[in-house]
Structure 1
């Protein structure tokens, strides 16, 4: 049984969040699935559906294979107007921690910039994460991106 260190956990979760943001903001989508365990869950869901405990999500990927498929889709099959993302993520709040996993929440704001226009507010919400302790460090077991608005701008192509 390992000793739980709240300060070390907080620093490790902040590092994971930082790597996640750096990865998706740089468009390094091939690295994105490596931040998750094999049997993972990734959702982008409206706050309205989350609060009502309704399962409808605008994106729901189960397992690393589906994350890899999304990367393939972004790179090879989806036709979209390219854009840059920039994540601003609050310090996480550790909800609970044990020897196997950490449950954490953090607020996020995503800005989007198309090459020929000004930056715009794209998506705002909170991450609700279950993070697994692995021999390779912390990895997401579940990431639920709960966005505040009932509306989204166009399609969400890249991970939030």
Structure 2
């Protein structure tokens, strides 16, 4: 299995995704009227997605509303109370995110793993950067969008996880690195 490698720089309230040294896509988040939101930008700095983050207290679910520039709306919703598995249907495809121990996140497309994010900073080549491994470069935009959803409101990459224990995270049955 050969994967494409990308680097993500997380600085304050923004993420920038790079291939080699070229920035491909970015996102920025903010607080507006008591809600947390984000915008995802293409290489030309044009908005391509809007994200709104909200916690549905009565259902104990985290919901990210994703709206594209054409007005299509989808929701990335937590599937468990630990908020370690999220799912969304976009254009007839089901995407699922799983948050693993050792600061890794996997993305599945119709139950097939397509991407893995690694925030552990262990790899010397990706020191102070988030590593993204991707099976197909066609999935870079959607993978970055879904990762951006989870990062809305997070200020620093060095911040401690909100999880009480690594045992509460999802097992990584197919680690790529």
Q: TM-score, normalised by structure 1?
A: 0.28
More strand by proportion, 1 or 2? 2
> Given the two structures, how large is their TM-score scaled by the length of structure 2?
0.26
Higher relative contact order (CA 8 A, sep 6+): 1
Structure 1 or 2: larger helix share? Answer: 1
